[in-house]
Amino acid sequence: MRAKAKLYPKEAARLLREKPGVREAVTGATLHFDRNRLKAYAEVPIAEWRERAKAIKDHALSHLDQYLELAEKRLKENGVQVHYAEEPKDAHRLLREIVERRGVKRAVKAKSMLTEELGVNPLLASLGVEVYETDLGEYLIQLLGEPPSHIVGPAIHLSLKEIQTLFHERFGTPLDASPEALAQVARKVLREAFLTAELGISGANFLVAETGTLALMENEGNIRLSTSLPKVHVAFVGIEKLLPRFQDLALFLPLTARAATGQRLSTFVSLIQGPARKGEEGPEEVHVVLVDHGRTALLADPEAWETLRCLRCGACLNACPVYRQTGGHPYGYVYSGPIGAVLDPGLLSLEEAYPLPYASTLCGACLEACPVKIPIPKLLLTWRHRAVAEGLSPAWERAMLAAYRRVMESPALYRLFSKALRGLPLPQDLLPLLRAWTEGRGPLKPSPKPFHQLWREMEEGHGR
Amino acid sequence: MDARSRILSRIQRALKDRPKALLPEHPHPPFPEDPIPLLLARLAENGAEPHLLSPEGAQALLRELAQGLPGVAFGQGVPTPFREGLNPLPPEEAPLGVSWALFAVAETGTLALSSADGRRAQLLPPTHLVLVERERVYPTLLQAFQDLKELPIALGLHSGPSKSADIGQVMVKGVHGPGRLIVAVLT
């Protein structure tokens, strides 16, 4: 996916104007997810869980080279073919080779944000491979030609009505078809795809170094089918997904499920060790592609590396009052919401993702929600400081702040300006910022006496 | 240098001056006396249909479920007495799949299914009956994982019927996998 993060404020405004239904759909869905998360957190010693999860991730990240090598060793012992990809083109080369060697005509995909990063779908399409996204939400947006709007619920911005219309146009279902009926139509189309595809593609929630285990979480069963039925399974795994020990999954699987959807565990978890043994059902070939794509650069960042703890649960999106207004599309990159605002500058570059660190109220709800305690508000400020230092902020903002600083640093100028503000009528209807403030409030009335004078009078009045 | 060595050397450079974080141990929570009631309750909360039955009772349940159906898809591990009198069908065609679970976890209402048992029968039929022995029920996921001696090629954890709320936030069952999960804990 090409980054369009620079357009954030314009795209957000356009979406709110042109598709007001998105706000309603996204707010409804995220509030629902967020309430479920709070209930699920309250059921367990969440403070201790979060602290332990953070510590395990920090350990894995501070020994990443060792765990990567151990994972590679174990995967190979299990018969998995291991590849490294620094850039999307490395992943493309590998897929092209598999498509040609195995004569792949059809591929089924389990939802994966990393494959969005790598542009797997357009690549396969260019190779003449028919690609089916098999997660129901992901299938909907694939039919619409849209990118995902939410890390966990890619289609939460769509209303039932829009989906009914989409299916009516594509499959001739009645305009008032029930969600059950629509799901049955998708099940039929995708079941056929599962049974005929030569290639299954997935991401991974975790990769366990000790055992070489790929862990995948879902509720529909499409991931288990995508990784079980086709003869070839390719999993794209970000190098930050490593966990040291198999038993760490006993913490991370339920913690991620509670954070993401408020479940105690996802309905289906697949823990995959490798290709099928002789006489057993399952894929003949399993490939694991360990992907960098900006992650080592982020790891080297003395402040922002903590973002790599992210489990991609989407809890911060659900908690965010800014994300709720528009959903993920205006953010312009794979990762949206608070985590996107700090991860995208790290993965892309601050210049590419410039306005995203400003897409927040700094209310701190994202930090409260985060299962691995990523200090998102602090990191938003870090990226904002860097944006200012690199001169990325707009010229008018820099000029305004420079003028403000001059006035605040000089008592004489300060007195002059406060006098002018009291004496001159404020053009309250002309300045948009003031107009926004006075809507629903009375007009702004400057105090007739400056604070300094009031203070003096108060001190004198008390006879001190 | 290839991609692998470049990535590894970039990681080593990034970590050169970074303090090493310690790896914490997992706590060992007290073992509840009997996890069975919790397992049955959690399975029901997950939308499954749990039963606590003798092997004979479970066989009767299976026969009742299979009544009027053209046949049943069986997992490798399902013992012979459960298969008697039933027509075996390939999973693509069978309206009912029967599996033998490796273990179950009470706290999450979860069944662990081995790929050695056969994955298609666990996923393709619209109804899935899982049999699990009472002795194989663990109170927590951590205890089950710590006790696991050998990992199958693919371990599937199933905690209820297949479901999705992707269409207008309405919960729908049986999206890709089985829409009905029936569990018999064997006494």
Q: Write the pLDDT tens digit of every residue in B133-169.
A: 999 999 999 999 999 999 999 999 999 999 999 998 8
The pLDDT of residue A429 is: 65
The pLDDT of residue A420 is: 82
Q: Which of residues 48-77 of A touch B (CB under 8 A)?
A: 48, 52, 55-56, 58-59, 61-65, 68-69
* B41 Cβ under 8 Å from any chain A Cβ: no
Q: What is the pLDDT along chain A (464 residues), one digit of tens a residue?
A: 568 999 999 999 999 999 999 999 999 999 999 999 999 999 999 999 999 999 999 999 999 999 999 999 999 999 999 999 999 999 999 999 999 999 999 999 999 999 999 999 999 999 999 999 999 999 999 999 999 999 999 999 999 999 999 999 999 999 999 999 999 999 999 999 999 999 999 999 999 999 999 999 999 999 999 999 999 999 999 999 999 999 999 999 999 999 999 999 999 999 999 999 988 999 999 999 999 999 999 999 999 999 999 999 999 999 999 999 999 999 999 999 999 999 999 999 999 999 999 999 999 999 999 999 999 999 999 999 999 999 998 888 888 888 999 999 999 998 888 888 777 766 666 667 777 777 777 777 778 888 888 999 988 887 55
Question: B155, A271: Cβ pair inside 8 Å?
Answer: yes
Residues A400 and A394 sit within 8 Å (Cβ to Cβ): no
Measured over the CA atoms of residue B92, residue B94, residue B95 and residue B100, the dihedral's sign is negative
Q: Which of B165, B8, B175, B140 is nearest to A225 (CA)?
A: B175
Q: Which residue, among B10, B176, B180, B183, would best test binding to A if mutated, counting the most A CBs under 10 Å from its CB?
A: B176
The pLDDT of residue A422 is: 79
* A260 Cβ under 8 Å from any chain B Cβ: no
Helix, coil or strand: residue B163: strand
The structure tokens listed for B25 are 């141990």
Largest CA distance in chain B: 69
Tell me which H or E stretch contains B58.
Answer: helix B55-66
The pLDDT of residue B28 is: 81
Q: Write the pLDDT tens digit of every residue in B97-120.
A: 999 999 999 999 999 999 999 999
Q: What are the backbone dihedrals phi and psi of residue A98, each rounded to the nearest 5 degrees, phi first?
A: -65, -45
Helix, coil or strand: residue A269: strand
